[in-house]
Structure 1
């Protein structure tokens, strides 16, 4: 306990004031963490980024304990406790990623951190006589408290996630596996491609409706749903190649009717450009417009996008993914909704979404290689809500890819609700069924 005499001595001593030591130590920890996260020699992987961040903060707390003891008359030896806690966390995160130990630690670290924060608060009130305590340490304690609560929320939410058996199968496409599920019967086979950051569960209304008329396949791109992450972010051309490989290895016969929503439209256009003989027709559902610009070269330098993806993925450890997912997919069928929310909250999904947009310029240019579908049936669907004149013009341009095409505007539907709202999804299903019928009968699309 600091006595009155001790306080007087503190005012006259020539040793360093504790305030700059506290500020400098914590700033050092932050800077070390930022340096390690951004350093080119540190792999841009979620568990590595998380581990080196914790290591940086451990350095900061250790610096506070050491420097306050050596340079001031107010030793803050309690700071060794958070330093040790974070160092132990580094060992688990870096050395045991994805193991039973790490899964068990997900239940342990939040309550331990919560208790540690309370203890640190009490010790700092006793041992630290400085104006820095309320404006510097207390905000740090608050952040740690929020992280502890978020970690607890994530552990509980993950335990409650849907653990349904994987529908369909996992197909090896070379360096990872893709989830593919086909239902219904008949030909041509329809393949549904969801938009950026989405998964097969997004087709919860459309797939069953189409399956009543023909064979329909849904799948998850790399890192989505039940699919494995890819070693490198796949652009539109690689996505099309992986899909074709999965269909062939699963013995799903073509040619296919491909239906793509948003960014998914780019992927089905890339498929049609690369494998024209395997495409019977297309449905573009409020598709992103392709680009006529040359395909940008693949990045071979510093992987900033991968690092941003890893940082974003790390937030799922404190419940951010689950928190955001709970605000989405509300209008899907209950089973699809629960699967979509569980998938969207994972680190792989978050990282994959960031990486998907990072290679988006390549995907738009690759889709632009499709310049003519001949007379193969094509339906372009556009959301009636939120589509400006430029977007409508782009959709009109897409309809010129085929001499047998229709452009329909779905009244009352927005870009996001075209698949999730049951009424809007019925319009999507109808468009797919019209293309299927046109392929079967070799007749023009119905003008309605």
Structure 2
């Protein structure tokens, strides 16, 4: 009888343990899934909504806070609601949360974030390895390990990618020495590289994603006949970042100060490619006495900006996440996305900048300030008889609206030439044939300024 009762008690106990495990096997998986989803959603929502358009440090910091919240939810709910408490999750929650708060509080600039790249990748890798061990020890097989292992693997991959990116940035800095000089324009320094002699001086203004190296085919050819200066707007190439994203007026003020402090003599022939053309138009509107001629190389249509466009920086949307993602080496995984037809070393310089966090940040800033820039470019209503060449490229973007805008820009001067070319938009700078057409347009404008005669026919 005693034996029978003991056997029954053991059976009931075993059944109870089985029921207990069965009860918690489902909830722990749901808690893990819910916690990971919570972290992922918050890591996306906070940067895109609460910190939309903010500097890279704030974007990264807010994303880390989102992930930290997810790990905290896992630690809290698993302890209170299951028999498999995951108290170890407080460690990544604390580590990511503290880092996120630190970034939000200090808002480090690009050099500081780059320097931090020598520290955080090994720490993150160590944390990922430790988390993988804790997952294996604290979760029974079938309790949701398979949900956490991929996340730990992603963290380890991010650490390795971050280390590769940091080493790559250091290598790029050593490999590509800066030509020209930096000049303080008031709180930040801009890069200017001038070659050649004679007048009028030609000033080259890059488009979105470009910088002074983008003119490698054009600047040397123009320097054979006159002085030519390629410069980088704030945040581009070798120039330092401005305290905040700049619209066309701020960039024009910077350029005016830069040329003055560099001792360059105007009036100038402004040459702008893509949105660089719109920047040239804003400069001409602000400083008309400093403009002797202008060449617009497939300039972005400024007339698409309407009265409803905001006059200040707008939200760049998901593209704002790209500088932070690039810190993980994403840009170096897709090198062909930034391939350039420029000659070396300019091609490698362009590719390195385009794939870097600063390159993406520059794209984010240009996207955010685009409405303001285009609206400000519309302020240029006439150039009088100032020599003006409008060069329109071929490509899918060249529809009737684009053609009408190019004609409208050509009508800004009574001494203008509107030319068509088979070269694509980017090819006006980086392809040999397209660059030759651009050089001819610049040379014709320089000669028209020198002689006071009309431009050659289209």
How much does 1:30 deviate?
4.0
| Bigger Cα displacement from structure 2, 202-211 vs 71-80 | 71-80
- Describe the shift of the 1:14–1:414 C-alpha distance in structure 2 as closer, same or farther (beyond 3 A): closer
Is structure 2 residue 412 aligned with structure 1 residue 409?
A: no
Question: Matches of residues 7-406 of structure 1 in structure 2 within 5 Å?
Answer: 8=18, 10-11=20-21, 17-30=27-40, 33=43, 36-37=46-47, 44-87=54-97, 89-90=99-100, 93=103, 97=108, 105-114=116-125, 116-129=127-140, 133=144, 136-163=147-174, 164-291=176-303, 293-294=306-307, 296=309, 298-299=311-312, 305=315, 311-324=321-334, 326-386=336-396, 387-406=398-417
Task: Kindly tell me the number of residue pairs found equivalent between the two proteins.
Answer: 441
1:436 is matched with which residue?
A: 446
| Bigger Cα displacement from structure 2, 38-47 vs 261-270 | 38-47
How much does 1:419 deviate?
0.6
Are the aligned partners of 1:309 and 1:355 in contact in 2 as well (CA < 8 Å)?
A: no
- Describe the shift of the 1:82–1:304 C-alpha distance in structure 2 as closer, same or farther (beyond 3 A): farther
2:7 is matched with which residue?
A: none
How much does 1:317 deviate?
1.1
Identify unmatched segments of 5+ residues in structure 1: none
What SS does the aligned partner of 2:144 have?
A: helix
* Alignment deviations for residues 291-317 of structure 1 (CA, whole Å, 9 cap, x no partner): 284595544xxx862786653321221
Q: TM-score, normalised by structure 2?
A: 0.85
* Alignment deviations for residues 256-280 of structure 1 (CA, whole Å, 9 cap, x no partner): 0001011111111111122222111
How much does 1:15 deviate?
10
How much does 1:197 deviate?
2.5
- CA distance in structure 2 between the partners assigned to 1:380 and 1:149 by the alignment: 47
How much does 1:128 deviate?
2.0
* Alignment deviations for residues 325-350 of structure 1 (CA, whole Å, 9 cap, x no partner): 65324211212222223323343332
- CA distance in structure 2 between the partners assigned to 1:32 and 1:393 by the alignment: 45
- Describe the shift of the 1:42–1:184 C-alpha distance in structure 2 as closer, same or farther (beyond 3 A): closer
- Describe the shift of the 1:12–1:327 C-alpha distance in structure 2 as closer, same or farther (beyond 3 A): closer
What SS does the aligned partner of 2:190 have?
A: strand
- CA distance in structure 2 between the partners assigned to 1:226 and 1:356 by the alignment: 17
How much does 1:81 deviate?
4.2
- Describe the shift of the 1:324–1:261 C-alpha distance in structure 2 as closer, same or farther (beyond 3 A): farther
- CA distance in structure 1 between the partners assigned to 2:380 and 2:221 by the alignment: 29
* Alignment deviations for residues 40-92 of structure 1 (CA, whole Å, 9 cap, x no partner): 58992222332232233233324423432343211224434433543564477
Report the RMSD for the aligned CA atoms in angstroms: 3.2
- CA distance in structure 2 between the partners assigned to 1:30 and 1:255 by the alignment: 54
Identify unmatched segments of 5+ residues in structure 2: 1-13
What SS does the aligned partner of 2:63 have?
A: helix
- CA distance in structure 2 between the partners assigned to 1:113 and 1:326 by the alignment: 28
- CA distance in structure 2 between the partners assigned to 1:162 and 1:315 by the alignment: 20
How much does 1:407 deviate?
1.6
How much does 1:220 deviate?
0.5
- Describe the shift of the 1:329–1:436 C-alpha distance in structure 2 as closer, same or farther (beyond 3 A): farther
How much does 1:32 deviate?
5.1
How much does 1:445 deviate?
1.6
- CA distance in structure 2 between the partners assigned to 1:87 and 1:360 by the alignment: 34
What SS does the aligned partner of 2:424 have?
A: coil
The structure having more radius of gyration, on CA atoms, is 2
- CA distance in structure 1 between the partners assigned to 2:52 and 2:410 by the alignment: 47
- Describe the shift of the 1:235–1:409 C-alpha distance in structure 2 as closer, same or farther (beyond 3 A): same
- CA distance in structure 1 between the partners assigned to 2:59 and 2:410 by the alignment: 45
Q: TM-score, normalised by structure 1?
A: 0.86
Are the aligned partners of 1:161 and 1:338 in contact in 2 as well (CA < 8 Å)?
A: no
